[in-house]
C-alpha cells in the first residue's frame, strides 16, 4: 500500500513549495494592499535578495548572516525606488506606476548580469539544515522542513506586526484614509516609503531563502513573477491571510498537477488565474472591488 506514503510525500513537497510561494508573494500583496501599486519589479527584489545573500555568503561564509543581510539590503533599495521613482508618479495614473516597475525589471536584471555575469550560482544551505530525514519510507531534505517552519513563522510575525502593534495600526490607517492620517500629524509619505521598503525586504528575504533550492541567476526574477501574481490574485490583493492560504493552495495544486496531470501542468496556473479573476476578482480574502 504505497499510495499513502506517496500521497504524503507529494503533500509535503506541496507544503514546502507553498511556503516558498508565501514568502515570495506576501511582500507583493502587502505593497498592493497598502499602496495600491502592483509592483512588477517584485521578482527583481527576489533576485536581488538572492544575490545579496550570495555576496554575503562569499564574504562571511555564514548563511544566517546572508539571510539577515539580504532583506536589509533589498529593503533599502526598495525604499530608494519608492522615494525617488514612484513618489513623483502618485499624482498620475496608477498604470504609470505599473509601467515604471516593468521598466525596472530590465534595469535590475542587467545590473546583476553586469556585476556577477550571467552564469548560474549556487547558494549552499546552512550546515545545520544540509541533511536529510527519513519519515517512514520517505527521504526529505531538512532544508525544506526549515522552509516550511520559517514560512509559518514569518506569517505569524507579520500578523502580529500588522494587527497588534502601533506601527501596524499607523500603516492600516494610512492606507484606509491617507488625508485623515496626515491630518493627525503622521507623515504618510514616510509610512509609504517604509511599507514599500518592507515589502521589498520580504521579497529579498524570499530570494535568499529560496537560494539553496533554486540557485541564483539573473533572470530568476522574471520566472517567479507570474506564480507570485497568481498567488496574490487567488488569495486577494492586499490580504496577508489570502497570501498564506493562496500559496498553500497553489503549492499543492502545482505539485499534484506535476505529479498527476503532467501534460497540462504548464497551463494550470494560468487557467486558475483566469478563473479567479473572472469569477471572484477580489480573490478569497481580498477587499471587494471598489
Partner 1 sequence: MTQQTRRAFLRAAVIGGGAAVGVTSGPWVLRARAQGGPVKIGLVLPYSGVYAELGNSITQAMELVFARENWTVAGRKIEIIKEDDEMAVPTGVRKTEKLIDSDKVDILTGPVHSGILMAMRDKVHNSKTILIVSNAGADAISRTRCSKWIFRTSFSNWQPCQPMGGWVAKNLTKEVFQIAPNYQAGKDDMEAFRETFHPAGGKVLGEEYPKLGETDYAPYLTKIKQSGAKAVFAFFSGTDAVNFVKQYDDFGLKASIKLTAPGFLTEPDVLPAQGKTALGIITGHFYTPQLDNPVNQRFVKEFVEKYKGKMPDGFACQGYDTAEVIVRALKAVNGNTQDKDKLVAAIAATEFDSPRGRFRFDPKTQNVIQPFIYIREVRELPGIGLTNVPIDKVADVRDPGTGCTLPA
Partner 2 sequence: MLGVAVLLLALLAFPLAFGRYPVRLLQEILIWGIYAMSLDLLMGYAGMVSFGHSAFFGVGGYVAALALTSPAGVIGGPVGALLLPVSAAALAALVIGFFSTRVRGVYFIMLTLAFSQMLFAYAFQASWLGAEDGINGVPRPALLGAPLGDGYGFHVYVVAVVAAAALFLGRVVRSPFGHVLVGIHENEARMEAVGYPVRRYKLLAFVLGGTVAGLAGSLYAQLSGSITPDALFWKTSGEGLLMVILGGTGTLGGAVLGAAAFILLQSLVSTYTDRWMLILGGIFVLFVLLAPGGIVGALRGRLGLRA
Q: Which residues bind partner 1 (CB under 8 A)?
A: 2, 6, 9-10, 13, 16-17, 20, 113, 117-122, 124, 132, 139-141, 143-144, 213-215, 217-219, 223-224, 254-256, 258-259, 262, 265-266
Q: Give alpha helix (H) positions in the chain.
A: 3-35, 42-60, 63-81, 94-116, 142-164, 166-176, 178-183, 188-214, 220-235, 240-260, 265-279
The C-alpha atoms of residue 181 and residue 50 are separated, in whole angstroms, by: 36
Instruction: Considering the complex, state which of residue 6 and residue 177 has its C-beta at the smaller distance from partner 1.
Output: 6
Smallest distance, partner 1 to C-beta of residue 36, A: 30
> Among the candidate windows 143-151, 181-189, 226-234, 247-255, which touches partner 2 by CB under 8 A?
226-234
Q: 32 vs 63, which CB is nearer to partner 2?
A: 32
Q: Provide the phi-psi class of 135: left if phi over 0, else alpha when psi is between -120 and 50, else beta.
A: beta
Q: Is 273 in the site for partner 2 (CB under 8 A)?
A: yes
- Contact pattern for partner 2 over residues 12 through 51, marking x by CB under 8 A: --------------------x-----x-------------
Region from 55-63, 95-103, 162-170, 246-254 binding partner 2, contact rule CB under 8 A: 95-103
Q: Under the criterion CB under 8 A, does residue 274 sit at the interface with partner 2? A: yes
Q: Does 167 bind partner 2 (CB under 8 A)?
A: no
Give residues with Cβ within 8 angstroms of 54, minimum separation 6.
Answer: 66, 116, 121, 123, 211, 216
Euclidean distance between CA atoms 88 and 147, whole angstroms = 38
The 181-220 contact track toward partner 2, x by CB under 8 A, reads ----------------------------------------
- Determine, following the binding rule CB under 8 A, whether residue 113 of this chain makes contact with partner 2: yes
Which three three-digit cell numbers place residue 43? 521578482
Number of CB atoms found within 10 A of residue 15's CB: 19
Is 280 a binding residue for partner 2 by CB under 8 A? The answer is no
Cell numbers given for 6: 506517496
Nearest-angstrom CA–CA distance, 45 and 50: 9
* Closest distance of CB 219 from partner 1, Å: 7
Among 5, 61, 64, 102, binds partner 2 (CB under 8 A): 102
In contact, 126 and 118? CB cutoff 8 Å: no
What's the rounded Cα separation, in Å, for the pair 253 and 198? 29
CB of 250 closer than 8 Å to CB of 234? yes
Q: Of 5, 61, 88, 131, which one interacts with partner 2 (CB under 8 A)?
A: 88
φ, ψ of residue 138 in degrees (nearest 5): -110, 135
Query: Does the protein bind partner 2 through residue 64 (CB under 8 A)?
Result: no
**262 within 8 A of 30, measured Cβ to Cβ:** no
115: contact with partner 2 by CB under 8 A? no
Query: Could you tell me the CA-to-CA distances from 142 to 145, 215, 252 in Å, in that order?
Result: 5, 17, 19
Site of interaction with partner 2 (CB under 8 A): 32, 38, 85, 88-89, 92, 94-96, 98-100, 102-111, 113-114, 226, 229, 233, 237, 263, 266-267, 270-271, 273-274, 277-278, 281, 289
Amino acid at each position: 500500500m504505497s499510495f499513502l506514503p506517496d500521497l504524503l510525500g507529494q503533500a509535503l513537497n506541496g507544503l514546502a513549495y507553498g511556503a516558498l510561494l508565501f514568502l515570495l508573494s506576501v511582500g507583493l500583496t502587502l505593497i498592493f494592499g497598502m499602496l495600491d501599486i502592483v509592483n512588477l519589479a517584485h521578482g527583481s527584489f527576489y533576485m536581488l535578495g538572492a544575490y545579496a545573500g550570495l555576496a554575503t555568503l562569499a564574504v562571511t561564509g555564514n548563511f544566517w548572516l546572508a539571510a539577515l543581510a539580504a532583506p536589509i539590503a533589498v529593503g533599502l533599495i526598495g525604499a530608494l525606488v519608492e522615494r525617488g521613482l514612484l513618489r513623483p508618479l502618485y499624482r498620475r495614473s496608477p498604470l504609470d506606476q505599473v509601467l515604471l516597475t516593468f521598466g525596472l525589471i530590465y534595469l535590475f536584471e542587467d545590473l546583476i548580469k553586469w556585476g556577477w555575469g550571467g552564469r548560474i550560482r549556487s547558494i549552499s544551505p546552512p550546515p545545520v539544515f544540509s541533511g536529510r530525514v527519513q519519515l517512514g519510507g520517505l527521504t526529505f531534505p531538512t532544508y525544506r522542513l526549515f522552509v516550511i517552519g520559517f514560512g509559518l513563522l514569518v506569517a505569524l510575525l507579520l500578523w502580529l506586526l500588522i494587527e497588534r502593534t502601533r506601527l501596524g495600526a499607523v500603516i492600516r490607517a494610512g492606507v484606509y484614509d491617507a488625508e485623515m492620517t496626515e491630518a493627525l500629524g503622521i507623515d504618510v509619505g514616510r509610512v509609504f516609503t517604509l511599507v514599500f521598503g518592507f515589502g521589498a525586504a520580504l521579497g529579498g528575504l524570499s530570494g535568499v531563502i529560496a537560494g539553496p533550492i533554486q540557485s541564483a541567476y539573473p533572470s530568476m526574477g522574471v520566472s517567479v513573477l507570474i506564480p507570485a501574481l497568481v498567488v496574490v490574485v487567488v488569495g486577494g490583493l492586499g490580504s496577508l491571510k489570502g497570501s498564506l492560504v493562496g500559496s498553500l493552495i497553489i503549492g499543492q495544486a502545482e505539485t499534484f498537477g506535476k505529479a498527476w496531470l503532467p501534460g497540462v501542468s504548464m497551463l494550470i496556473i494560468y487557467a486558475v488565474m483566469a478563473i479567479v479573476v473572472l469569477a471572484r476578482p477580489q480573490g478569497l480574502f481580498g477587499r471587494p472591488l471598489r
